[in-house]
Amino acid sequence: MQNGVYQQRISYSRPPRCQGARRRGFLIAVPVCSRRHRPTRVHTHGPRVNPPELAQRLHAAEAVSRDAGRLATRYLADPDALEVTLKGAQDVLTAADGAVERLIVATLRAAFPRDAFLGEEGGRVNGGGPDDACWVIDPIDGTANFARGLPHWCVSIALVVAGRTELGVIYDAGADLLYAATRGAGAWRNGERVSVSTTTDLARATVDVGYSSRTPVEAFGDLVTVLLRRGINVTQCGSAALGLARVADGRLDGYAERHLFAWDALAGLLLVEEAGGCANAFLTGDALTAGNETIAATPALYAVLVDTLAGR
């Protein structure tokens, strides 16, 4: 512990092999996933941030995420300062979003001036080549909840290098829970290692299902209906990043959404992988800027979600 921030030890052990599952009643057997939804795995080729540099970035991301959470919380104390507007139907924006993102970018840029940045509110900063380190930031994920004083929101920060997420930090300011992961070094909550749940019985499983206005309402309804008919409890907290962190923490068993942007998904997906769960390969094609579908779950339930999103 240094300055109130947990210092994670960096190592690069390969995480357990994660494959899909087919249902056998409520019990799960494990064959290979389809290629399209195969969980992401570690690759050893290509550029990467070395362990000392990654440790420095982890420390900085943890510290600034707490600062960002405190700044956002101060806005809640003065509702007039929030300046709530709508970017679209249920797409809420507040003055806090921009202020928090500027704080994060300024802090990390001062420490790592060669890194690029991609934020939900500010877009791409510093440019950078395809192999450069790029911070992907959602200053307040769950802004609709935040603007109403509901506790389900968080700060989400990921670091992408050469098309692969190497670091993810999510700060649940309302509960003062700091989630952090670096590739190959496990997932952590306030300094304690976390792992996904061991649930295999669908009748005991709870899945967070996100809704995106970029997909048909009917598709969301169909997804929820199928999960409920399979005996799975469905919830929606209104923050994809927080939902994914809760999967990594074993509090939820899965997360599914037909479209998310990278700033909503990347940190949480790495957390799930490093906690022993499965996650789809999000960063394909132009997904860094255009977004992609998101599936993350325990190894036992992953293929159930894959099948459900595929309409099987």
Q: Return the H-helix or E-strand segment holding 240.
A: helix 240-248
**Judgement on whether residues 227 and 258 belong to the same structural domain of the protein:** yes
- DSSP string computed for 75-98: HHT-HHHH--EEEETTEEE-HHHH
Could you tell me the CATH number of the domain that includes residue 267? 3.40.190.80
Residue 173, CB half-sphere, CA atoms under 13 Å: how many? 29
Per-residue pLDDT tens, the chain, 312 aa: give them. Answer: 444 433 443 333 333 445 444 332 222 323 333 334 445 433 333 445 676 689 999 999 999 999 999 999 999 988 777 777 666 555 677 888 899 999 999 999 999 999 999 997 776 766 666 668 999 999 999 989 998 889 999 999 999 999 999 999 999 999 999 999 999 999 999 999 999 999 999 999 999 999 888 888 888 898 899 999 999 999 999 999 999 999 999 999 999 999 999 999 999 999 999 999 999 999 999 999 999 999 999 999 999 999 888 876
CA distance 250 to 5: 23
Task: Name the pTM for this structure.
Answer: 0.83
Give residue 121's pLDDT: 74
Task: Tell me, yes or no, whether 68 lies in a domain.
Answer: yes
**Judgement on whether residues 56 and 177 belong to the same structural domain of the protein:** yes
Q: Which of 172, 194, 216 is the last residue of a domain?
A: 194
Spatial contact of 106 and 123, defined as CB atoms under 8 Å apart: no
Residue 100 domain boundaries:
51-194
**Judgement on whether residues 55 and 91 belong to the same structural domain of the protein:** yes
**Judgement on whether residues 170 and 245 belong to the same structural domain of the protein:** no
| Closest by CA position to 205, among listed 178, 176, 234 | 234
Q: Which of 140, 173, 194 is the last residue of a domain?
A: 194
**Domain count within the chain:** 2
Phi and psi, residue 56, nearest 5°: -65, -40
**Judgement on whether residues 87 and 178 belong to the same structural domain of the protein:** yes
CA distance 215 to 171: 28
Task: Tell me, yes or no, whether 28 lies in a domain.
Answer: no
DSSP code for 62: H
**Judgement on whether residues 187 and 262 belong to the same structural domain of the protein:** no
CA distance 59 to 96: 23
Task: Tell me, yes or no, whether 43 lies in a domain.
Answer: no
Could you tell me the CATH number of the domain that includes residue 145? 3.30.540.10
Residue 292: other Cβ atoms inside 10 A: 21
Give me Rg for the CA atoms of the chain.
18
Task: Tell me, yes or no, whether 73 lies in a domain.
Answer: yes
